[in-house]
Amino acid sequence: MIKNNEKINRSVRRTQRDLRNSLIELMKKKSILRITAKEIYEAADIGRTTFYAHYKDQYDLLEKIETETIKQLEGFLHKNATAILNNKDIIENTIVSLNYIADNCGLFQVLLGENGNIIFQKNFFIHLIERSQKVLHNKSENPEELYINEGYSVYIVNGTIGLIQYWLKNNMHIPIPTLAKMIVKIIEKIRS
């Protein structure tokens, strides 16, 4: 027998999922700046009161989606960074990350696309650059070497995200294992 709390929690999760999916679908067509809360809750077939019980406005909803996405990616990024540092399972960990992106391709097409929030994209890039600098940083005190490592990080992150954006725009036409190998080879060439 299902308890009332379980029913409520499932109902809340379903409502939040429907609102998030509605926003993502709307953002495939236009910027968050041109989307109203009313459009979101009507597309989700949810009432105004219910929408505002969960979110302040459309920007709050988008921010929660972005925060959740970063948290989920953080686990993959940590595993990949650890794998790169230990030279183990790098391709396998990259495949897991790419599978997550593929499973959520609509979300990533929006968040990393032209209608995505530029502040999220900037923070996402900075986050990835900081993470890759930890991987590439070799404890050097030499300022020139630190700048070189910083440049490598920026280059790797921009190149990898650009490749993923290209892959998403082209309906993920490159098989995930092939894309993972490409990304790892690029990183290895830059690091060597």
> What confidence score (pLDDT) does residue 79 get?
66
- Tell me which architecture the domain covering 1-55 has in CATH: Orthogonal Bundle (1.10)
Structure-token match 């968050």, residue found: 32
pTM here is 0.78
> What confidence score (pLDDT) does residue 51 get?
96
Which residues, in sequence order, are CB contacts of 178 under 8 Å at separation 6+? none
Long-range CB contacts for residues 173-180, cutoff 8 Å, separation at least 24: 176/95, 176/98, 176/99, 176/102, 177/91, 177/95, 179/98, 180/91, 180/94, 180/95, 180/98
Mean pLDDT per block of 10 residues along the chain (192 residues) reads 64 93 95 95 96 96 92 72 63 85 92 86 79 60 77 84 91 94 84 68
